[in-house]
């Protein structure tokens, strides 16, 4: 039996980002984990992660181009440049837990099994759902290995408020993914 510390935020806040990143780094160092996967929409969280996770295999996962508006990438160019200069990897990919199914839902007003799965994971928190999603996306891109644990970091709205240790899986073996530890998480949805 092991007893470990988990940080619970009262509610999701952008101000939790620094604490989340530092706690994730401390846990990664303790467990000798080198792969860190971080969700970042505008790039602000990604830049902060680049400063904290120097020397790690850091993968910043951004939303696919056209997520909110056709042909528009939401990551700010100055943040993208800073992330790439730092040596971190930048992944732009279709979301593993929505993709084409989101288009079907919007057009036909019906849910498919992948979006139902995403909704079920949101019961554990939006950030935790995103942690699982970005780990699958990074594994599918070959940027992390499915043979070793990684730390995945995400948030509910802006910034990062959730971090977990997990064993990633590729999307075609999704149910092999296993969340091993929760490092930080908000106690409420909003």
Tally the domains of the chain. 1
Would residue 2 count as lying in a domain? no
Domain at 176, CATH number: 3.40.1380.20
**Centroid of chain to Cα 93:** 13
pLDDT tens by residue, 20-56? 999 999 999 999 999 999 999 999 999 999 999 999 9
As a whole number, mean pLDDT of residues 69-81 equals 93
In tens, the pLDDT along 156-175 reads: 989 999 999 999 999 999 99
pTM of structure: 0.94
Exposed / middle / buried, residue 111 (Cβ in 10 Å: 0-12, 13-18, 19+): middle
Phi, psi (rounded to 5 degrees) for 116: -65, -40
Is residue 46 included in any domain, yes or no?
Answer: yes
For 74, the enclosing helix (H) or strand (E) is: none
Contact 188, 127 (CB under 8 A): no
Average pLDDT over residues 142-150: 98
Q: Is residue 20 part of a domain?
A: yes
**Residue 1 domain-assigned (yes or no):** no
The span from the CA of 76 to the CA of 46, in Å, is: 11
Q: Does a structural domain hold residue 145?
A: yes
Q: Is 58 part of any domain?
A: yes
Domain that holds residue 121: 7-64+72-186
Cα 189 to its chain centre, rounded Å, is: 17
* pLDDT of 108 strictly over 90: no
């Amino acid at each position: 039996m092991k007893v470990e510390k988990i940080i619970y935020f009262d509610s999701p806040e952008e101000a939790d980002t620094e604490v989340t990143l530092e706690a994730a780094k401390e846990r990664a160092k303790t467990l000798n984990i080198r792969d860190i996967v971080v969700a970042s929409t505008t790039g602000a969280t990604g830049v902060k992660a680049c400063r904290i996770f120097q020397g790690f295999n850091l993968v910043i996962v951004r939303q696919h181009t056209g997520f909110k508006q056709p042909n528009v990438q939401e990551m700010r160019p100055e943040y993208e440049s800073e992330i790439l200069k730092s040596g971190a990897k930048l992944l732009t990919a279709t979301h593993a837990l929505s993709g084409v199914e989101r288009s079907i839902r919007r057009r036909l007003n019906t849910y498919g099994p992948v979006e139902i799965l995403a909704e079920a994971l949101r019961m554990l928190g939006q950030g935790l759902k995103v942690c699982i999603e970005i780990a699958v996306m990074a594994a599918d891109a070959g940027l992390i290995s499915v043979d070793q644990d990684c730390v995945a970091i995400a948030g509910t709205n802006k910034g990062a408020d959730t971090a977990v240790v997990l064993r990633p899986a590729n999307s075609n073996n999704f149910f092999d993914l296993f969340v091993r530890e929760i490092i930080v998480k908000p106690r409420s949805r909003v």
